[in-house]
Amino acid sequence: MKNKPLSTSTPVNKPSGRPQCRNTYRDVGDPFSPINRNYSNNMSSRVCSTSTTKEKSDSESDRDLSSTDDNVEEHSVNKLKKFSAHSGIRIDEKIPESSNFPLLSSTFLYILALMAVTVAVSYQTFFSYSSDPTVTLSITDLKNNFPHQRLDTWIAIESGIHDIQIMNKPSVFLIIYDDQTQDVLNKFIKDVSVFASCTLNGNCSVNPVELKGEKLHDLQIQDYGILIDKYHSQIQQKSVMIIYNLEEVPAELAQAFHVFCDEYNPLVRKSAYFFTMKIKNDEGSTISDIEGILRQKWYSLKDDLFDPLFTRISSMIIVIQPEDS
Protein backbone atom coordinates (compact mmCIF):
# COMPACT_ATOMS: atom_id res chain seq x y z
CA MET A 1 0.00 0.00 0.00
CA LYS A 2 1.34 3.36 -1.02
CA ASN A 3 1.43 6.16 1.39
CA LYS A 4 -0.63 9.18 0.41
CA PRO A 5 1.47 12.30 -0.05
CA LEU A 6 1.08 14.98 2.58
CA SER A 7 -0.93 17.96 1.44
CA THR A 8 1.01 21.18 1.22
CA SER A 9 -2.08 23.39 1.41
CA THR A 10 -2.87 25.37 4.52
CA PRO A 11 -4.89 23.27 6.90
CA VAL A 12 -8.40 24.38 7.60
CA ASN A 13 -9.65 24.17 11.17
CA LYS A 14 -12.85 22.22 11.24
CA PRO A 15 -15.70 23.78 13.09
CA SER A 16 -16.38 22.26 16.46
CA GLY A 17 -20.10 22.15 15.73
CA ARG A 18 -20.75 25.05 18.11
CA PRO A 19 -21.74 28.31 16.44
CA GLN A 20 -19.19 31.05 16.66
CA CYS A 21 -21.12 34.04 17.91
CA ARG A 22 -20.58 37.52 19.14
CA ASN A 23 -22.94 40.02 20.61
CA THR A 24 -23.21 43.57 19.41
CA TYR A 25 -25.14 46.17 21.32
CA ARG A 26 -26.17 49.63 20.37
CA ASP A 27 -27.07 52.24 22.92
CA VAL A 28 -30.25 53.96 21.88
CA GLY A 29 -29.29 57.11 23.75
CA ASP A 30 -32.81 57.80 24.97
CA PRO A 31 -32.48 61.05 26.99
CA PHE A 32 -35.84 60.61 28.66
CA SER A 33 -36.05 57.10 30.09
CA PRO A 34 -33.88 54.00 30.36
CA ILE A 35 -34.57 51.06 28.08
CA ASN A 36 -36.37 48.29 29.92
CA ARG A 37 -34.39 45.12 30.27
CA ASN A 38 -37.34 43.12 28.94
CA TYR A 39 -36.61 44.53 25.52
CA SER A 40 -32.92 43.58 25.56
CA ASN A 41 -33.50 40.95 22.91
CA ASN A 42 -34.94 43.58 20.59
CA MET A 43 -32.33 46.22 21.39
CA SER A 44 -29.32 43.99 20.73
CA SER A 45 -28.31 41.83 17.85
CA ARG A 46 -26.55 38.52 17.90
CA VAL A 47 -24.44 37.77 14.85
CA CYS A 48 -23.46 34.19 14.52
CA SER A 49 -21.57 32.23 11.89
CA THR A 50 -22.19 28.50 11.51
CA SER A 51 -20.20 27.84 8.38
CA THR A 52 -18.73 24.37 8.32
CA THR A 53 -16.14 25.05 5.63
CA LYS A 54 -14.85 28.58 6.11
CA GLU A 55 -15.66 31.80 7.99
CA LYS A 56 -17.48 34.67 6.40
CA SER A 57 -15.30 37.34 4.97
CA ASP A 58 -14.82 40.60 6.82
CA SER A 59 -16.94 42.45 4.28
CA GLU A 60 -19.87 40.07 4.78
CA SER A 61 -19.63 40.45 8.55
CA ASP A 62 -19.61 44.21 8.22
CA ARG A 63 -22.71 44.08 6.05
CA ASP A 64 -24.45 41.91 8.62
CA LEU A 65 -23.52 44.27 11.44
CA SER A 66 -24.63 47.26 9.41
CA SER A 67 -27.93 45.59 8.67
CA THR A 68 -28.41 44.70 12.32
CA ASP A 69 -27.55 48.23 13.43
CA ASP A 70 -30.09 49.60 11.00
CA ASN A 71 -32.73 47.31 12.45
CA VAL A 72 -31.84 48.36 16.00
CA GLU A 73 -31.88 52.03 15.04
CA GLU A 74 -35.24 51.65 13.30
CA HIS A 75 -36.64 49.87 16.35
CA SER A 76 -35.27 52.57 18.65
CA VAL A 77 -36.73 55.37 16.55
CA ASN A 78 -40.11 53.63 16.61
CA LYS A 79 -39.92 53.41 20.42
CA LEU A 80 -39.02 57.07 20.71
CA LYS A 81 -41.87 58.03 18.40
CA LYS A 82 -44.28 56.09 20.56
CA PHE A 83 -42.86 57.79 23.65
CA SER A 84 -43.17 61.16 21.93
CA ALA A 85 -46.79 60.54 21.00
CA HIS A 86 -47.59 59.49 24.55
CA SER A 87 -45.75 62.27 26.41
CA GLY A 88 -46.12 65.14 23.93
CA ILE A 89 -42.36 65.71 23.75
CA ARG A 90 -41.02 66.29 20.27
CA ILE A 91 -37.97 64.29 19.23
CA ASP A 92 -37.68 65.44 15.62
CA GLU A 93 -35.79 68.60 16.58
CA LYS A 94 -32.09 68.34 17.23
CA ILE A 95 -30.86 69.90 20.43
CA PRO A 96 -27.66 71.86 19.93
CA GLU A 97 -24.77 70.67 22.03
CA SER A 98 -24.32 74.14 23.46
CA SER A 99 -27.94 74.30 24.65
CA ASN A 100 -27.08 72.15 27.68
CA PHE A 101 -30.58 70.58 27.80
CA PRO A 102 -32.90 73.63 28.08
CA LEU A 103 -35.68 71.46 29.48
CA LEU A 104 -33.55 70.51 32.48
CA SER A 105 -32.36 74.08 32.93
CA SER A 106 -35.93 75.38 32.84
CA THR A 107 -36.97 72.86 35.48
CA PHE A 108 -34.04 73.85 37.68
CA LEU A 109 -34.88 77.54 37.33
CA TYR A 110 -38.52 76.80 38.15
CA ILE A 111 -37.46 75.00 41.34
CA LEU A 112 -35.24 77.92 42.34
CA ALA A 113 -38.08 80.36 41.72
CA LEU A 114 -40.45 78.23 43.80
CA MET A 115 -37.93 78.13 46.64
CA ALA A 116 -37.52 81.90 46.50
CA VAL A 117 -41.28 82.41 46.70
CA THR A 118 -41.50 80.01 49.64
CA VAL A 119 -38.77 81.86 51.53
CA ALA A 120 -40.42 85.20 50.80
CA VAL A 121 -43.79 83.98 52.06
CA SER A 122 -42.21 82.52 55.20
CA TYR A 123 -40.37 85.77 55.82
CA GLN A 124 -43.54 87.77 55.40
CA THR A 125 -45.45 85.39 57.67
CA PHE A 126 -42.81 85.61 60.35
CA PHE A 127 -42.85 89.39 60.43
CA SER A 128 -46.57 90.00 59.93
CA TYR A 129 -47.86 87.24 62.23
CA SER A 130 -51.44 87.23 61.03
CA SER A 131 -53.67 85.58 58.48
CA ASP A 132 -56.31 88.18 59.22
CA PRO A 133 -55.56 91.26 57.07
CA THR A 134 -57.53 93.50 59.43
CA VAL A 135 -55.42 92.68 62.51
CA THR A 136 -51.63 92.50 62.54
CA LEU A 137 -49.01 92.92 65.21
CA SER A 138 -45.29 92.58 64.59
CA ILE A 139 -42.23 92.79 66.80
CA THR A 140 -41.65 96.26 65.36
CA ASP A 141 -45.10 97.32 66.55
CA LEU A 142 -44.29 96.08 70.04
CA LYS A 143 -41.06 98.05 70.09
CA ASN A 144 -42.88 101.18 68.96
CA ASN A 145 -45.63 100.71 71.56
CA PHE A 146 -43.11 100.23 74.38
CA PRO A 147 -40.00 102.20 73.40
CA HIS A 148 -38.46 102.24 76.91
CA GLN A 149 -38.26 98.49 77.35
CA ARG A 150 -34.83 96.95 77.28
CA LEU A 151 -33.36 95.45 74.14
CA ASP A 152 -33.01 91.99 75.70
CA THR A 153 -36.77 91.99 76.26
CA TRP A 154 -37.47 91.97 72.53
CA ILE A 155 -34.69 89.48 71.86
CA ALA A 156 -36.20 87.09 74.43
CA ILE A 157 -39.73 87.40 73.05
CA GLU A 158 -38.79 87.14 69.39
CA SER A 159 -36.38 84.23 69.84
CA GLY A 160 -38.68 82.45 72.28
CA ILE A 161 -41.69 82.50 69.95
CA HIS A 162 -39.48 81.57 67.01
CA ASP A 163 -38.11 78.55 68.92
CA ILE A 164 -41.64 77.23 69.38
CA GLN A 165 -42.08 77.10 65.62
CA ILE A 166 -38.63 75.79 64.74
CA MET A 167 -37.87 73.45 67.65
CA ASN A 168 -41.46 72.43 68.38
CA LYS A 169 -41.20 72.96 72.12
CA PRO A 170 -42.79 75.37 74.63
CA SER A 171 -41.32 78.74 75.57
CA VAL A 172 -41.80 80.22 79.03
CA PHE A 173 -41.57 83.89 80.01
CA LEU A 174 -41.55 85.24 83.56
CA ILE A 175 -42.49 88.94 83.53
CA ILE A 176 -41.60 90.95 86.64
CA TYR A 177 -43.31 94.23 87.58
CA ASP A 178 -44.01 96.44 90.57
CA ASP A 179 -46.51 99.14 91.59
CA GLN A 180 -44.92 101.72 89.30
CA THR A 181 -45.15 99.52 86.21
CA GLN A 182 -48.59 97.98 86.86
CA ASP A 183 -50.28 99.87 84.01
CA VAL A 184 -47.44 99.17 81.59
CA LEU A 185 -47.63 95.48 82.47
CA ASN A 186 -51.35 95.28 81.68
CA LYS A 187 -50.85 96.73 78.19
CA PHE A 188 -47.61 94.84 77.61
CA ILE A 189 -48.97 91.40 78.42
CA LYS A 190 -52.01 92.00 76.23
CA ASP A 191 -49.96 93.02 73.17
CA VAL A 192 -47.34 90.31 73.64
CA SER A 193 -50.01 87.60 73.92
CA VAL A 194 -51.61 88.86 70.70
CA PHE A 195 -48.22 88.77 69.03
CA ALA A 196 -47.73 85.16 70.16
CA SER A 197 -51.22 84.16 69.03
CA CYS A 198 -50.67 85.74 65.62
CA THR A 199 -47.48 83.76 65.21
CA LEU A 200 -48.52 80.37 66.57
CA ASN A 201 -52.15 80.29 65.42
CA GLY A 202 -51.93 82.39 62.27
CA ASN A 203 -54.88 84.28 63.68
CA CYS A 204 -54.50 87.29 65.94
CA SER A 205 -58.09 87.07 67.16
CA VAL A 206 -57.53 83.83 69.14
CA ASN A 207 -57.69 84.79 72.82
CA PRO A 208 -55.19 83.22 75.23
CA VAL A 209 -56.04 80.95 78.16
CA GLU A 210 -55.95 83.10 81.31
CA LEU A 211 -55.43 82.12 84.94
CA LYS A 212 -55.24 84.36 87.99
CA GLY A 213 -53.20 83.26 90.95
CA GLU A 214 -55.56 84.63 93.59
CA LYS A 215 -58.53 82.77 92.08
CA LEU A 216 -56.61 79.52 92.07
CA HIS A 217 -55.88 80.13 95.72
CA ASP A 218 -59.59 80.53 96.44
CA LEU A 219 -60.47 77.22 94.77
CA GLN A 220 -58.61 75.30 97.48
CA ILE A 221 -57.74 72.48 95.10
CA GLN A 222 -55.09 70.09 96.41
CA ASP A 223 -54.60 67.93 93.33
CA TYR A 224 -52.72 69.76 90.54
CA GLY A 225 -53.76 67.01 88.11
CA ILE A 226 -57.24 68.60 88.07
CA LEU A 227 -55.67 71.79 86.76
CA ILE A 228 -53.85 69.88 84.02
CA ASP A 229 -56.98 68.03 82.91
CA LYS A 230 -59.03 71.25 82.86
CA TYR A 231 -56.70 73.36 80.73
CA HIS A 232 -54.91 70.79 78.57
CA SER A 233 -57.38 70.91 75.67
CA GLN A 234 -57.70 74.70 75.86
CA ILE A 235 -53.95 75.16 75.48
CA GLN A 236 -53.97 72.79 72.52
CA GLN A 237 -56.57 74.97 70.82
CA LYS A 238 -55.18 78.41 71.72
CA SER A 239 -51.41 77.79 72.14
CA VAL A 240 -50.98 80.75 74.53
CA MET A 241 -51.51 80.82 78.29
CA ILE A 242 -51.17 83.73 80.74
CA ILE A 243 -50.77 83.11 84.46
CA TYR A 244 -51.26 86.34 86.40
CA ASN A 245 -49.53 86.87 89.75
CA LEU A 246 -47.53 83.68 90.02
CA GLU A 247 -46.65 84.53 93.62
CA GLU A 248 -50.32 83.99 94.54
CA VAL A 249 -50.54 80.48 93.08
CA PRO A 250 -50.67 77.79 95.82
CA ALA A 251 -47.62 75.54 96.02
CA GLU A 252 -49.67 72.40 95.36
CA LEU A 253 -51.12 73.75 92.11
CA ALA A 254 -47.84 75.34 91.01
CA GLN A 255 -46.56 71.82 90.35
CA ALA A 256 -48.89 71.67 87.33
CA PHE A 257 -46.57 74.13 85.58
CA HIS A 258 -43.76 71.61 85.89
CA VAL A 259 -45.78 69.50 83.45
CA PHE A 260 -46.97 72.30 81.18
CA CYS A 261 -43.54 73.92 80.83
CA ASP A 262 -41.45 70.78 80.36
CA GLU A 263 -39.36 71.37 77.24
CA TYR A 264 -38.31 67.73 76.78
CA ASN A 265 -41.65 65.99 77.28
CA PRO A 266 -44.23 68.79 77.06
CA LEU A 267 -47.94 68.37 77.38
CA VAL A 268 -48.49 70.72 74.41
CA ARG A 269 -45.49 71.33 72.18
CA LYS A 270 -46.71 74.42 70.32
CA SER A 271 -47.38 76.57 73.36
CA ALA A 272 -46.22 79.80 75.02
CA TYR A 273 -46.59 80.52 78.74
CA PHE A 274 -46.45 84.02 80.17
CA PHE A 275 -46.18 84.31 83.97
CA THR A 276 -46.49 87.66 85.65
CA MET A 277 -45.05 88.24 89.10
CA LYS A 278 -45.39 91.33 91.22
CA ILE A 279 -42.56 92.28 93.52
CA LYS A 280 -42.37 94.97 96.18
CA ASN A 281 -40.42 98.14 95.60
CA ASP A 282 -37.74 97.10 98.07
CA GLU A 283 -37.36 93.64 96.56
CA GLY A 284 -34.76 92.94 93.92
CA SER A 285 -35.50 91.67 90.41
CA THR A 286 -32.49 89.46 89.84
CA ILE A 287 -32.99 85.75 89.33
CA SER A 288 -31.72 84.98 92.82
CA ASP A 289 -34.12 87.54 94.30
CA ILE A 290 -37.04 86.01 92.43
CA GLU A 291 -36.02 82.50 93.46
CA GLY A 292 -35.89 83.58 97.11
CA ILE A 293 -39.37 85.11 96.94
CA LEU A 294 -40.96 82.03 95.38
CA ARG A 295 -39.09 79.64 97.65
CA GLN A 296 -40.54 81.51 100.62
CA LYS A 297 -44.03 81.45 99.09
CA TRP A 298 -43.83 77.75 98.25
CA TYR A 299 -42.05 76.64 101.40
CA SER A 300 -44.00 73.36 101.43
CA LEU A 301 -42.19 72.19 98.29
CA LYS A 302 -38.96 70.34 98.94
CA ASP A 303 -35.87 71.14 96.94
CA ASP A 304 -36.30 68.15 94.62
CA LEU A 305 -39.68 69.61 93.57
CA PHE A 306 -38.96 73.32 93.77
CA ASP A 307 -35.65 73.39 91.91
CA PRO A 308 -36.82 71.81 88.60
CA LEU A 309 -40.06 73.79 88.78
CA PHE A 310 -38.25 77.11 89.16
CA THR A 311 -35.82 76.16 86.38
CA ARG A 312 -38.73 75.70 83.97
CA ILE A 313 -40.64 78.87 84.79
CA SER A 314 -37.57 81.14 84.90
CA SER A 315 -35.97 80.24 81.56
CA MET A 316 -36.57 83.81 80.27
CA ILE A 317 -37.07 86.64 82.75
CA ILE A 318 -38.36 90.04 81.58
CA VAL A 319 -38.38 93.06 83.88
CA ILE A 320 -40.92 95.70 82.90
CA GLN A 321 -39.56 99.25 82.70
CA PRO A 322 -41.64 102.42 83.20
CA GLU A 323 -42.98 104.16 80.09
CA ASP A 324 -43.70 107.87 79.68
CA SER A 325 -47.39 108.58 80.10
- Write down the pLDDT at residue 174: 97
- Write down the pLDDT at residue 108: 63
As a whole number of angstroms, the distance between CA 163 and CA 169 comes to: 7
As a whole number of angstroms, the distance between CA 285 and CA 308 comes to: 20
- Write down the pLDDT at residue 300: 94
- Write down the pLDDT at residue 137: 80
- Write down the pLDDT at residue 234: 95
As a whole number of angstroms, the distance between CA 319 and CA 278 comes to: 10
Is pTM, for the whole model, over 0.75? Answer: no
Q: Are 280 and 189 in contact (CB under 8 A)?
A: no
Which residues of the chain form CATH 3.40.50.12190?
Answer: 129-319
- Write down the pLDDT at residue 7: 45
Q: What is the DSSP string of 227-256?
A: HHHHHHHHHHHH-EEEEE-GGGS-HHHHTH
Output the furthest CA–CA distance in the chain (Å, rounded). Answer: 143
As a whole number of angstroms, the distance between CA 309 and CA 256 comes to: 9
CATH of domain 129-319: 3.40.50.12190
Per-residue pLDDT of the chain (325 residues; tens, 9 = 90+): 444 444 444 444 444 444 444 444 444 444 444 444 443 444 443 444 444 444 444 545 455 545 555 554 555 555 545 544 544 445 454 444 444 445 446 666 667 666 665 544 443 444 333 334 445 688 999 999 999 999 999 999 999 999 999 999 999 999 999 999 999 999 999 999 999 999 999 889 899 999 999 888 777 778 899 999 999 999 999 999 999 999 999 999 999 999 999 988 889 999 999 999 999 877 888 899 999 999 999 999 999 999 999 999 999 999 999 998 6
- Write down the pLDDT at residue 119: 45
